[in-house]
């Protein structure tokens, strides 16, 4: 506990210093650490080769999920690869269940497959209150078109982090990989 | 902030209000920086790679570590571990958490031919900043089939709500 100066001038200088340092702490992104979550496979889904979930389902299935005891950051950062055989198109979305309330991102339809990997990322602001208890964060996948499997690989990034740059919709970024 | 005014010539009331606002802002900052660190457990190298749906199995009569977390430093006093489990026909078992320093949670009994989810909130009872290893262990207590424990989700958490028993 710092000793608060008693003479008026030193006291005001001390108070200003406290205000300035607090304002810096409140504004800086350092108060939002990035936590990478470990993901396991979704409900009842077999995992091929240990790292990819395969599906031909026309309805969304939970491909990967992470659970954690409390929401420690306002935004979700997701990065993963999807393999799309020729003519196969998939659709993905992120779902957060926090304290029993469900928050769902807007879905993203992938490009039509050409026997290639695609890298998909998003930075999503679900709007769940910080400190919410028992959370389940899931990546859902389904097939929109084609005859083969959509292959959703285990996320390389499934993080709880700061809101900087995150959107509520969210914006999806999809690129050819490599 | 602390400027005196009429009715508060020494600025004491203003000072008190300022202190209160500072306390509140500090409390908010502490809440945002609460120590909750997701910390994964991995299959033990001596065990086979998890099955396609990420279950580790045992038939041993003694508690066997199935999943492992290396803890370079205990950064919190509690450990939160949540996982799914299942048992084969006629087979019963138990699960518990165990640390490298020998501390253990209470054991939770697993019924025969069933499945479920268990959440440990365990006070590990070890000094903060010490290094350790956390194991999720299981054993078979009856029957001829396997006791299986799925990939656990885990985090190091503040001690609030945690107990030495863990469940």
Q: What is the mean pLDDT of each run of 10 residues along chain A (178 residues)?
A: 62 83 72 75 66 90 92 91 96 96 97 95 93 91 95 91 88 91
In a domain, B83, yes or no: yes
What is the residue range of B118's domain? 37-157
Regarding whether B84 and B17 lie in a shared domain, the answer is: no
In a domain, B166, yes or no: no
In a domain, B49, yes or no: yes
pLDDT at B126: 92
Helix, strand or coil, per DSSP, at residue B61: coil
Q: Residues A159-168: pLDDT tens digits?
A: 998 888 899 9
Q: CATH no. for residue B119?
A: 2.60.120.260
pLDDT at A165: 87
- Which residue in the set B1, B32, B157 is minimally distant from A31, CB to CB? B32
Regarding whether B81 and B11 lie in a shared domain, the answer is: no
Regarding whether B17 and B71 lie in a shared domain, the answer is: no
Report the residue count for chain B: 167
Judged on CB neighbours under 10 Å (0-12, 13-18, 19+), B25 is middle
> Who's near A39: CB < 8 A, 6+ residues apart?
A64, A65, A66, A139, A154, A155, A158
Rounded CA gap, A175 and B10, in Å? 65
- Which residue in the set B32, B153, B157 is minimally distant from A38, CB to CB? B153
User: Distance from B119 to chain A by nearest Cα, in Å?
Assistant: 10
User: Distance from A41 to chain B by nearest Cα, in Å?
Assistant: 7
Token duo for residue B40: 């994964």
Regarding whether A53 and A26 lie in a shared domain, the answer is: no
Regarding whether B87 and B121 lie in a shared domain, the answer is: yes
DSSP A30: G
State the total domains in chain B: 2
CB A79 within 8 A of CB A152: no
Regarding whether A90 and A9 lie in a shared domain, the answer is: no
What angle is formed at CA B154 by the lines to CA B149 and CA B158, rounded to 5 degrees?
140
Rounded CA gap, B84 and B89, in Å? 17
Residue of B38, B53, B156 to mutate for A, most A C-beta atoms under 10 A:
B38
Regarding whether A100 and A13 lie in a shared domain, the answer is: no
pLDDT at B158: 86
Regarding whether A124 and A72 lie in a shared domain, the answer is: yes
The helix or strand, by DSSP H or E, that contains position B79, with its residue range, turns out to be strand B78-87
Regarding whether B73 and B143 lie in a shared domain, the answer is: yes
From A161, A162, A156, A163, select the one nearest A38 (Cα to Cα): A156
- Ramachandran bin of B54, using left for φ above 0, alpha for ψ from -120 to 50, beta for the remaining angles: left
Query: Would the ipTM clear 0.85, i.e. be above it?
Result: no
Regarding whether A84 and A12 lie in a shared domain, the answer is: no
Please list every residue in chain B whose beta carbon sits closer than 8 Å to the beta carbon of residue A130: 31-32
* Start-to-end Cα distance in chain B: 48
Regarding whether A101 and A112 lie in a shared domain, the answer is: yes
| Helix, strand, coil abundance in chain B, percent, nearest 5 | 15, 40, 45
Q: Which residue of B has its CA nearest to A36?
A: B38
Please list every residue in chain A whose beta carbon sits closer than 8 Å to the beta carbon of residue B25: 22, 26
Residue of B3, B31, B119, B153 to mutate for A, most A C-beta atoms under 10 A:
B153
Beta bridge partners of B71: B132
Q: Which residue of B has its CA nearest to A48?
A: B52
Regarding whether A132 and A62 lie in a shared domain, the answer is: yes
Regarding whether B103 and B129 lie in a shared domain, the answer is: yes
CA distances to B58, B93, B131, B139, B155 from B64, in Å: 7, 11, 21, 6, 21
From A68, A57, A81, select the one nearest A142 (Cα to Cα): A57
Rounded CA gap, B10 and A48, in Å? 74
User: Distance from B155 to chain A by nearest Cα, in Å?
Assistant: 7
Rounded CA gap, B55 and A45, in Å? 12
State the total domains in chain A: 2
Q: Which residues of chain B have pLDDT under 50?
A: none
CA within 13 Å, CB half, A30: 6
Please list every residue in chain B whose beta carbon sits closer than 8 Å to the beta carbon of residue A40: 54, 150-151, 153
pLDDT at B19: 87
Most distant CA pair in chain B, distance: 85
What is the residue range of A61's domain? 33-177
- Which residue in the set A15, A45, A46 is minimally distant from B18, CB to CB? A15
Regarding whether A26 and A96 lie in a shared domain, the answer is: no
């Amino acid at each position: 506990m710092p000793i608060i100066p008693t003479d008026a001038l030193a006291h005001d200088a001390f108070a200003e210093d406290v205000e300035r340092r607090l304002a810096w702490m409140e504004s800086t992104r350092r108060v939002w650490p990035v936590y990478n979550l470990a993901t396991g496979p979704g409900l009842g889904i077999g995992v091929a080769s240990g790292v990819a979930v395969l599906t031909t389902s026309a309805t969304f299935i939970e491909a990967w999920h992470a659970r954690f005891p409390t929401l420690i950051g306002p935004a979700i950062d997701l990065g993963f690869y999807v393999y799309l055989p020729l003519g196969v198109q998939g659709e993905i979305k992120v779902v957060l269940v926090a304290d029993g309330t469900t928050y769902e991102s807007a879905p993203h339809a992938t490009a039509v497959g050409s026997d290639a990997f695609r890298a998909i990322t998003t930075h999503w602001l679900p709007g769940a209150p910080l400190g919410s208890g028992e959370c389940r964060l899931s990546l859902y996948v389904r097939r929109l078109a084609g005859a083969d499997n959509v292959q959703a690989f285990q996320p390389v990034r499934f993080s709880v982090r700061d809101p900087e740059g995150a959107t509520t919709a969210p914006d999806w970024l999809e690129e050819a990989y490599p | 902030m602390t400027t005196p005014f009429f009715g508060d010539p020494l600025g004491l009331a203003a000072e008190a209000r300022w202190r209160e606002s500072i306390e509140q802002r500090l409390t908010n900052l502490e809440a945002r920086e609460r120590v909750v660190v997701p910390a994964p457990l991995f299959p033990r190298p001596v065990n086979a790679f998890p099955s396609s749906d990420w279950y580790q199995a045992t038939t041993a009569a003694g508690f066997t570590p199935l999943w492992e977390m290396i803890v370079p430093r205990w950064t919190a006093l509690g450990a939160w571990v949540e996982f799914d489990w299942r048992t084969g026909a006629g087979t019963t078992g138990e699960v518990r958490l165990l640390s490298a320093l020998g501390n253990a949670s209470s054991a939770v009994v697993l019924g025969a031919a069933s499945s479920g989810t268990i959440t440990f909130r365990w006070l590990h009872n070890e000094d903060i900043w010490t290094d350790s290893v956390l194991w999720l262990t299981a054993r078979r207590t009856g029957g001829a089939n396997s006791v299986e424990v799925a990939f656990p989700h885990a985090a190091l958490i503040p001690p609030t709500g945690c107990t030495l028993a863990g469940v």
